[in-house]
Amino acid sequence: MGEYTKWIEHKGAKILYVNYAGIQDEEEYMRAIDEFEAEILSQPKGHQIRALVDVAGSVLTPSITERNKAVEQKARELGIPDSPTAMVGLSGFKMAVVQALAFFRPDLYIADSVESAKDWLVKQAVK
């Protein structure tokens, strides 16, 4: 697996852990998104996964936001559905953005810690 994206197991469930924590450089963040995209797009059509995304102390720019939207759109076009996702490390503007997304995505959970995110994810059904 890569530097930013790896599969972990928690209570018998497989979770894709995406670690953007501490990334302050937009170019590095884009490389991390590329790694995430490669893993997501390698999933079978119609297959959901549990995802844990840690953004603690990372930068958020309009380019990063647009790149993430493009990955989501490309996955949808390939028949890879939205999956249960837990996010940690949110504050300020990042929190506002994700709260707005969570309004439309009940499978998006804002967690206080990595452990609580993993615990929530294992309770989510995937198909």
Domains and CATH numbers, the chain: 5-122 (3.30.750)
HSE at residue 39, side-chain half, CA atoms within 13 A, is 20
**Secondary structure in 3-state letters for the chain:** CCCCEEEEEECCEEEEEEECCCCCCHHHHHHHHHHHHHHHHCCCCCCCCEEEEECCCCCCCHHHHHHHHHHHHHHHHCCCCCCCEEEECCCHHHHHHHHHHHHHCCCEEECCCHHHHHHHHHCCCCC
Written as tens digits, the pLDDT of the chain (127 aa) is 689 999 999 999 999 999 999 999 999 999 999 999 999 999 999 989 999 999 999 998 999 989 998 999 999 999 998 889 999 998 777 777 777 777 677 788 989 999 999 999 999 989 8
Nearest CA to 5 among 26, 29, 27, 83? 29
